[in-house]
């Protein structure tokens, strides 16, 4: 065991040395002169956002399972929703000389420095789930995840349809995801684009609940006091919607009836609330990215160029559809 570890470490040093000889820092793919490694020699470092939601937990499990099934070693770190922790984890993966780094950036901006360090070390980076806002797209080999603007639009389209016969103003509270995170920015944008076409739709308050249940509850409690006549809550994820349900019930109102709720994700707890009529509509966002991430790692290892942008396929759910889908829902 010890011997094998030493052998692997020595191979890692050799790879780094070779990369150095090849003039590392100028390419964004693995040094092909070293040839593909066998899968049990590969080491991938994954820097996860945290464990803020049901979606995130399902995403972590799916990624860990996929790498285990593929027989590829996965180093895992949880940044507890802090960018500085994620940067530290990425730097440590660079130092350890992993073969590929994958991460889900907690916020969009502020990654260029650390991604340039990975590039200089010739370690390919894969973005999973969330995007970075960088001018330089040579800093990552592929971005695998959902189209969050599209998700926001789908939420908005349901709202437009639901209130199509109403001439009264529709007062909306928006529970935003983590400030500066791609899904928070884009889900707000897509929703505003669709509902903004008719000025009867009024976003009367919009605040972050940080993608957590506790955050959604707390923000809703406070916002219901200043906006007692709200018609609908648009939450950027199920967990915040589930928190909002608690706050609405505590205020003596009926979620799904007195105040309608639209969310994004479609995790089991959200789907149950939709089936129970407490949420009215959910836009799906799939956390099952593990197998596709493994495929990207294999392609990079084989010296192939993965697709730069891989968009996850997703659907939407009404109450009837949730009741039908629930028994087979994996997460
Ligand atoms: O919707 C939310 C999670 O980045 C798509 O992060 C992900 C989002 C997901 O906390 O529940």
pLDDT digits (tens, 9 = 90+) for 57-110: 999 999 999 999 999 999 999 999 999 999 999 999 999 999 999 999 999 999
Atom of ligand 1 nearest to the CA of 264: 1
pLDDT in tens, 281-305: 999 999 999 999 999 999 999 999 9
Q: Does domain 6-145+287-312 have CATH number 3.40.50.2300?
A: yes
* Residue 148 Cα to ligand 1 middle (Å): 10
Task: Name the residue among 248, 247, 278, 249 with its Cα closest to residue 262.
Answer: 278
d(CA 266, CA 196): 25
Atom of ligand 1 nearest to the CA of 239: 11
d(CA 57, CA 242): 16
**What is the sign of the dihedral through the CA atoms of 94, 95, 100 and 105?**
negative
- Report if pTM > 0.85: yes
8 confidence band (pLDDT: 50, 70, 90): very low
Cβ(183) – ligand 1 distance below 6 Å: yes
Structure tokens belonging to residue 85: 């922790």
Structure tokens belonging to residue 74: 């996965």
d(CA 284, CA 270): 10
- Mean local confidence (pLDDT), 259-265: 98
- CATH superfamily entry for domain 148-285: Response regulator (3.40.50.2300)
Beta bridge partners, 284, equal 265
pLDDT in tens, 216-235: 999 999 999 999 999 999 99
d(CA 156, CA 174): 12
* Numbered ranges of CATH 3.40.50.2300 in the chain: 6-145+287-312, 148-285
Residue 240 or 22, more confident = 240
pLDDT in tens, 138-190: 999 999 999 999 999 999 999 999 999 999 999 999 999 999 999 999 999 99
- Mean local confidence (pLDDT), 258-270: 98
Instruction: For residue 247, give Cα distances in angstroms to 173, 230, 274, 282.
Output: 13, 13, 17, 19
35 confidence band (pLDDT: 50, 70, 90): confident
Query: What pLDDT score does 2 carry?
Result: 33
* Residue 151 Cα to ligand 1 middle (Å): 12
Is pLDDT above 80 for 202?
A: yes
Instruction: For residue 28, give Cα distances in angstroms to 32, 150, 300.
Output: 11, 29, 10
What 3-state DSSP class applies to 175? strand
* Residue 129 Cα to ligand 1 middle (Å): 8
Terminal C-alpha separation, the chain: 36
Atom of ligand 1 nearest to the CA of 55: 11
* Residue 182 Cα to ligand 1 middle (Å): 9
């Amino acid at each position: 065991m010890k011997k094998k570890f030493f052998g692997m470490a020595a191979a890692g040093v050799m790879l780094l040395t070779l990369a150095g000889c090849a003039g590392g820092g100028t390419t964004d793919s693995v040094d092909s002169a070293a040839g593909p490694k066998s899968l049990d020699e590969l080491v991938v470092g994954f820097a996860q956002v945290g464990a803020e939601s049901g979606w995130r937990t399902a995403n972590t499990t799916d990624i860990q399972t996929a790498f285990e099934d593929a027989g590829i070693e996965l180093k895992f770190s949880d940044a507890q929703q802090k960018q500085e922790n994620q940067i530290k984890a990425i730097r440590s993966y660079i130092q350890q000389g992993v073969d590929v780094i994958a991460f889900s950036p907690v916020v969009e901006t502020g990654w260029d420095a650390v991604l340039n360090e990975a590039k200089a070390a010739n370690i390919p980076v894969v973005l999973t789930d969330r995007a970075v806002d960088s001018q330089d797209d040579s800093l990552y080999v592929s971005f695998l995840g959902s189209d969050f603007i599209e998700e926001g639009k789908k939420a908005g389209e349901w709202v437009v349809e639901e209130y199509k016969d109403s001439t009264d103003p529709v007062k909306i509270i928006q529970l935003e995801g983590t400030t500066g995170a791609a899904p928070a920015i884009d889900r707000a944008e897509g929703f505003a684009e669709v509902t903004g076409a008719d000025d009867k739709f009024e976003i009367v308050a919009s605040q972050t609940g940080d993608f957590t249940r506790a955050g959604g509850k707390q923000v809703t409690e406070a916002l219901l006091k200043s906006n007692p006549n709200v018609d609908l809550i648009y939450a950027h994820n199920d967990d915040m919607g589930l928190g909002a349900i608690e706050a609405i019930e505590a205020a003596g109102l009926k979620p799904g009836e007195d105040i309608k709720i639209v969310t994004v994700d479609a995790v089991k707890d959200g789907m149950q609330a939709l089936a129970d009529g407490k949420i009215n509509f959910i836009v799906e966002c799939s956390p099952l990215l593990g197998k596709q991430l493994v495929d990207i790692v294999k392609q990079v290892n084989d010296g192939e160029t993965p697709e730069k942008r891989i968009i996850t396929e997703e659907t939407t759910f009404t109450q009837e559809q949730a009741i039908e889908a629930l028994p087979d829902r994996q997460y």
